[in-house]
Amino acid sequence: MDLTFSPPLHKQRHQFVVDFVKRNKPKKVVDLGCGECTLLKMLKFHREIDLLVGVDVNGAKVKRKMHGLAPISTDYLEPSYDQLRVELYQGSVTQKDARFKGFDLVTSIELIEHLTPADVELFSEVVFGYMTPKTVIISTPNSEFNIFLPGVSNYRHSDHKFEWTRAEFRSWAMKVCLDYGYEVEFTGVGKAPQGQQEAVGFCSQIGVFYQLGGRDCCKTLLVNDAEDLFSYTLLYSINYPSLCDNNILRRVLVSEVLYWAEKLKNRWMEEQAGGICDAVALCQTEEGACAEEMKDLMEWSGASDSAEKEGSCTSSRIVAVPLDVLWSCCPKVSVLSGSLCNLKHLLMDEPNIKLSQDSSAVLVNHWEQDQEEKEDDYNLDDSGYPETSLHSNSAEQEEDWEANN
């Protein structure tokens, strides 16, 4: 029988996890047997996750793909308040590591069948008894489905140590639940041909394990904190830029203040040059009440602060843009700073910002020879950021029969 899956089976397995994350919004997620990090690359865009971790016994494979988990350009240009840390480790799922305790979600996608029976017992102890996550998703081949797979005479992959029937998977899962205090729901991906679903089940069977409240009677492995083990090797870690980082918040705020101060100055100078009708109309369209508040902008003539410090006689025209005007006209500035008082506090020690003596206004230089540059400013997008087009592609190492067919 010529059986194909659309989308491909490995994508269906990963999408199952992604859909679960969308619904349940776990904060801490670890993928056991992460391989080429394909699932992690999908999950990093779901910013309800604070900590995203992968571990695989094959460190070389992880290293080849780990930089695909780095932040992209827009993460730096437009950081959000979401926080994300990514960590990748080399290690075996049969070994304990204290850093892997207490996760919200552990995934093990097509991994367990690569373990020997003895290692399956250790896997159960480590994942359910030591790590004690709130939820575990385990997928594994359903051997009953193999009759529909071309070229499969025994196992789907040369490294498989076994492939369970649905009854065998259920028996193992129920024992885990009894031993470690979980309950399980069975499902899968990769539907059978029409009329065969009930007889053979899914191509990949999935168990979703949920931790129960009371664990007193369960075989939870108790380890003294002083004896916590760190058996995995950290290969890669990165913190994504976040506005929760005060340094990043300041950088973005200063960028917005400089952009809007320059923009408001240029419009005010246009009014003074005789283009008051057009300038006010533009302000009323884009900033509402800002048209009236722009009347508060003041022009000073004389030496700039930098010129005085350098002993120069160069004269410049300086426009004072009141902070309350910036606050009212620029929603992003008000959101980032939180309050007008806090805006003043955040800008006082910034070397790239010149404030008036009473710290109530931003001082912006105006040079006559800058007229061409000034007109170019009118063509900037209000966001102040360039558009970025980014595409990412990832490869999945499939089962032997999937790759051959």
HEC sequence for 145-165: HHHHCCCCCCCCCCCCCCCCC
pLDDT number for residue 173: 98
- Listing DSSP states for 220-255 in one string gives -----GGG--B-SEEEEEEEPPBTTSHHHHHHHHHH
Q: What is the pLDDT of residue 296?
A: 57
- Lowest mean pLDDT: which of 131-140, 288-297, 306-315? 306-315
What is the DSSP code (8-state) at residue 72? -
- The token pair at 243 is 């506005």
pLDDT of 220 reads 57
pLDDT of 206: 98
Count Cβ neighbours within 10 Å for each residue of 60-99 and write b for 16 or more, e otherwise: ebbeebbebbeeeeebebebeeebbebbbbbbbbbebbbb
pLDDT of residue 87: 98
Total residue count of the chain as it appears in this document: 405
What are the pLDDT digits (tens) for 360-381? 999 988 765 444 554 555 454 4
Look up residue 76 and give its two tokens. 């730096």
- Which pLDDT band, with edges at 50, 70 and 90, does 48 fall under? very high
With a cut of 60, say whether residue 400 has pLDDT above it.
no
Element (H, E) at 137: strand 135-141
Residue in 192, 240, 200 with CA at minimum distance from that of residue 81: 240
Structure tokens at 281: 């109309």
**pLDDT at site 367:** 65
Looking at the chain, the whole-number percentage of residues with pLDDT higher than 70 is 76
pLDDT of 145 higher than 60: yes
More confident position, 222 or 61? 61
The whole-number pLDDT of residue 290 equals: 60
CB atoms within 10 A of CB 244: 12
What is the model's pLDDT at position 390?
Answer: 38
| In the predicted structure, residue 211 carries a pLDDT above the cut 80 | yes
Average pLDDT of the chain to the nearest whole number: 82
Please name every residue paired with 56 in a beta bridge, in sequence order, or none if there are none: 90
Q: What angle do CA 228, 54, 49 make, to 5 degrees?
A: 95
pLDDT digits (tens, 9 = 90+) for 268-295: 888 777 654 443 333 333 444 465 555 5
pTM (2 decimals)? 0.75
Question: pLDDT, tens digit, for every residue of 324-370?
Answer: 888 888 888 999 999 999 999 889 888 999 998 888 999 988 765 44
